[in-house]
């Protein structure tokens, strides 16, 4: 998939749409900021100095300090290292598991399909993110619990997507052609069917990451997600809410970070989708 995109991009047959380029730029900016930002910023994100709490923006603290006197800009940037990897991971495991289950259901049908489809129905009968909240609670708050709980519920979307794609693809002639050549079904599924379902899966993954980062921050906002003192945007919004009247940016800025990241990734997904379809 990536090779194909790279190959096509190299050939320059069709330039990436503007949407995708904007999205890619935003994503790259976040990743670079996440990698290099903490090295460039002189402050320790967890170092409190309560005597210097709630300072307005200044030459030293460009975005001021938070309620414990920590440099707010540093925490905004360091949170990239928390929110992004967890969101990407929380969507990655369900992608792997969901795609595998969906592909098996779609390819082999019969009992496999029935079992997977009924399990998916069951999960979807739940208000899934409430279920996720409750699962995280049952497992104990934290990143690992979040990823596990996200996997339990989010595989369904990937499974449905993969099942549909595989069912569409398996009736195509190249799959039959592969069967005639005597390749085992397992090999056909993994090397001929699935690679063709990957672009759509990857696009779905990107929008799922957006969802996951929002859900993660929501849980942290509710106090069930990432625990203090770790810098996390949802948690920072919750901690900034008491100071809305005097220090509105404490609640506003982390939300903007989330929003711009989500918008960037959504644009990238949309743009790639348009590009692959055209």
Q: Name the residue with tokens 């690992």.
A: 144
Nearer to other proteins, 36 or 241 (CB): 241
String of contacts with other proteins for each residue 139-178, x by CB under 8 A: xx-------------------------------xxx-xxx
x-marked contacts with other proteins along 107-126 as a string, rule CB under 8 A:
-----------x--xx-xxx
Residues 6+ apart with CB under 8 A from 192: 174, 175, 178, 183
Report the C-alpha gap between 264 and 211 in whole angstroms: 13
In the region spanning residues 213 to 232, those forming contacts with other proteins, defined by CB under 8 A, are 214-215, 217-218, 221-224, 227-229
Q: How far is the CB of 23 from other proteins (least distance, A)?
A: 9
CA-CA distance, 264 to 59, in Å (whole number)?
29
- Taking CB under 8 A as the criterion, the residue among 10, 110, 245, 277 binding other proteins is 245
User: Which residue from 24, 68, 97, 112 is in contact with other proteins, where contact means CB under 8 A?
Assistant: 68
What 3 state SS string does 225-263 have? CCCCCCCCHHHHHHHHHHHCCCCHHHHHHHHHHHHHHHH
CA angle 104, 110, 114 (to 5 degrees): 80
Report the residue from 179, 200, 202, 276 that binds other proteins according to the rule CB under 8 A: 179
Q: Is residue 9 a contact point for other proteins (CB under 8 A)?
A: no
Q: What residues numbered 185-204 form the site for other proteins, per CB under 8 A?
A: 187, 191-192, 195-196, 198
Cα(208)–Cα(86) distance, integer angstroms = 12
């Amino acid at each position: 998939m990536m090779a194909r995109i790279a190959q096509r991009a190299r050939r320059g047959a069709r330039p990436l749409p503007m949407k995708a380029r904007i999205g890619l730029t935003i994503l790259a900016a976040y990743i670079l900021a996440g990698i290099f930002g903490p090295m460039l910023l002189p402050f320790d994100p967890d170092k409190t100095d309560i005597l210097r709490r709630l300072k307005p923006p200044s030459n030293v603290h460009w975005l001021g300090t938070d309620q414990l006197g920590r440099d707010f800009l540093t925490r905004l940037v360091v949170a990239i290292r928390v929110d992004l990897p967890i969101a990407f991971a929380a969507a990655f495991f369900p992608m792997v598991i969901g795609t595998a289950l969906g592909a098996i259901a779609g390819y082999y049908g019969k009992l496999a399909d029935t079992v997977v489809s009924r399990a998916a129905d069951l999960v979807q009968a739940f208000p899934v993110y409430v279920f996720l909240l409750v699962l995280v609670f049952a497992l104990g708050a934290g990143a690992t619990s979040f990823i596990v709980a996200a996997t339990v519920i989010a595989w369904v979307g990937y499974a449905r997507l993969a099942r549909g794609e595989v069912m569409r693809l398996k009736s195509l002639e190249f799959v039959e052609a592969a069967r005639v050549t005597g390749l085992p079904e397992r090999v056909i599924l993994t090397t001929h069917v699935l690679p063709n379902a990957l672009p759509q899966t990857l696009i779905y993954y990107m929008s799922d990451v957006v969802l996951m980062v929002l859900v993660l921050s929501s849980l942290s906002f509710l106090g069930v997600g990432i625990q203090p003192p770790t810098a996390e945007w949802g948690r920072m919004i919750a901690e900034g809410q008491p100071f809305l009247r005097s220090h509105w940016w404490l609640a506003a800025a982390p939300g903007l970070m989330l929003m711009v990241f989500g918008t960037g990734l959504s644009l990238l997904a949309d743009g790639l989708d348009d590009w692959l379809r055209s």
